[in-house]
Amino acid sequence: MQEQLTKILQEAKEQLNKALTPGDAEEVRIRLLGKKGSLTEILRSMGTLGPEERKTLGLTANAVRSEIEGLLESKFSQLKELQKEMKFKAERIDVTEPGKQIPPGSKHPITVTIDEISRVFMSMGYSIAEGPEVETVFFNFDALNAAPNHPSRDMTDTFYISDAVLLRTQTSPVQARTLLAQNPPIQVISPGRCFRCDSPDATHSPMFHQVEGLLVDEGISMADLKGTLDSFAKQLFGSNAKTKFRPHFFPFTEPSAEMDVSCFKCGGAGCRVCKGSGWIEILGCGMVHPNVLAVGGVDTEKYTGFAFGMGVERIAMLKYGVDDIRLFYENDMRFIAQFK
């Protein structure tokens, strides 16, 4: 038995040397000191020995046991320490490493264009008015003097949500809303999204942007309209830009016109951008129809006004030489990041 005890002690030392985790050390403890451990068996079998033998052997067995317990204890704390160190190492953060670069975004070209248009008009004293994108038939058509059979009311041109509700096809309903909400003098622009049932191609998109303008005061004439829009064109396209007004029809203005700007590319000589004509159409405008003023409760004997509306995509395409409207909506950063 003496021999066995020496062997057990030897075994304990060897196995604990090899233990790499507290789990390994625990296994050694169970194998030697557990209920069925080899040292426990020896201690248990001592009952069968004579008193003398039991005494001497008992002393050695207990000494072996406490030595093993001591070994286990120091192994456990050594391994725990080691584990802690490894965890620290694995979790260490190098605060001197450079951070992840998040590339700065840039404004969308449509936003850049709306901002530019707004800046020009705000410098002339206009403020910004807003209206809903989901609009009523009343504000989008009826209040704007559109005849009951006007072709733009057609289901094939307009996204209807119900008989009385639609996605606005123009920003013009903001005119009617503003006339109802404010008393003259009124001087607002209203940029925003519009929707029409168009199949996307190089120049059409079912969602696009317009900027509407409305000015109502005493004694406003076509001369004010022309002066304002000519000044706008010069600020947006350069001081050499010339403008001309062609008669047109819109239900909500009388008289109505379309405004052309001299081609900023060729200066009027004729080129690919202006299709050889030297002029580029950029907006619709006119004197606000008395029927529209009346819907807003404006005294049409006292007040007159002008209105205008322009397509933002069209202006952005002309200004930046973009030849396909769909590029604006593909969210390709290589395209968008060019407009800062």
Contacts of ligand DAH in 124-153 (CB under 6 A)? none
CA distance 150 to 135: 17
Residues in the chain, how many? 340
Contacts of ligand DAH in 251-270 (CB under 6 A)? 253
Binding mask 282-311 for ligand DAH (x = CB under 6 A): --xxx--------------------xxx--
Spatial CA neighbour of 145 closest among 303, 285, 247, 254: 254
Closer to ligand DAH by CB, 170 or 262: give it.
170
* Minimum distance, C-beta of residue 222 to ligand DAH, in the bound complex (Å): 12
Which helix (DSSP H) or strand (DSSP E) does residue 175 occupy? helix 173-181
Q: Which residues pair with 211 in a beta bridge?
A: 191, 310
* Minimum distance, C-beta of residue 135 to ligand DAH, in the bound complex (Å): 13
| Binding-site size, ligand DAH (CB under 6 A) | 11
Contacts of ligand DAH in 187-206 (CB under 6 A)? none
Q: Which residue is nearest to ligand DAH (CB)?
A: 309
Closer to ligand DAH by CB, 212 or 281: give it.
212
Only one residue has tokens 């696009």, namely 208
243 binds ligand DAH (CB under 6 A): no
Closer to ligand DAH by CB, 61 or 188: give it.
188
At how many degrees (to 10) do helices 22-33 and 38-45 cross?
20
Closer to ligand DAH by CB, 39 or 216: give it.
216
Spatial CA neighbour of 63 closest among 24, 22, 8, 16: 8
Sign (positive/negative) of CA torsion 176, 182, 185, 189?
negative
172 binds ligand DAH (CB under 6 A): yes
* Cα-Cα end-to-end distance for the chain: 90
- Write out the residues near ligand DAH by the rule CB under 6 A: 170, 172, 212, 250, 253, 284-286, 307-309
